[in-house]
Amino acid sequence: MSDFPCALINDGYSRRGFVKERKHCYPAVRFRYRPVPIEDHTTIARALQDAPTGQAEAHLFVKTVGKYVETWNVVDRDGKPVELRSEKGAPNVAVLTKVDTLLLMKIYNIVMMNTETDEDPEWEPGESPIKHEADKLFGEQEQDDVGNSPEG
């Protein structure tokens, strides 16, 4: 499979993200996320601008992270996984608002594609964090390790 980045974001497309450790603040975080499509990006930006209170704005940030981050390795002080979504599948606002603000905003900006992911030291040299469907465009019918299939 080719490993050059693809600019087309298809339905079901996901990327790996990484935020390096910030000593005395938070550990390194690995996650998978769906890049925010431009329509959602502008809707979120407008909603943030129109938020009537700081609390409403904060909830929009955490709802965005909770919606677009598929998995992550964040744990609480007891080592239990921090759930992104409630049992009903909605972003877990009550928990996500307690995540370190610097970490949350870094993840938010990666998901919104306002900034690039940090480079994960566990990635192979020259390995791109972006797994894509470029081979589909060129005729290969193969599923990659991110779960992107030729069916989209």
Coil, helix or strand at residue 36: coil
Spatial contact of 28 and 74, defined as CB atoms under 8 Å apart: no
pLDDT of residue 131: 47
pLDDT of residue 145: 46
| 150 lies in some domain | no
pLDDT at 139 over 60: no
Average pLDDT of span 125-130: 61
Reported as a single tens digit per residue, the pLDDT across 61-118 is: 999 999 999 999 999 999 999 999 998 999 999 999 999 999 999 999 999 999 999 9
Structural domains of the chain, count: 1
Reported as a single tens digit per residue, the pLDDT across 15-50 is: 899 999 999 999 999 999 998 988 999 999 999 999
| 92 lies in some domain | yes
| 144 lies in some domain | no
| 146 lies in some domain | no
| 9 lies in some domain | no
Instruction: Give residue 115's domain range.
Output: 15-136
pLDDT of residue 128: 59
Burial (CB < 10 A; 0-12, 13-18, 19+), residue 124, is exposed
The H or E element spanning position 72 is strand 69-72
Q: Is the dihedral of CA 7, 9, 42, 95 positive or negative?
A: negative
| 152 lies in some domain | no
| 98 lies in some domain | yes
CA angle 112, 117, 122 (to 5 degrees): 145
| 107 lies in some domain | yes
CA angle 55, 59, 61 (to 5 degrees): 120
Number of Cβ within 10 Å of residue 16's Cβ equals 18
DSSP 8-state symbol, 85: B
Assign 134 a pLDDT band (cuts: 50, 70, 90): very low
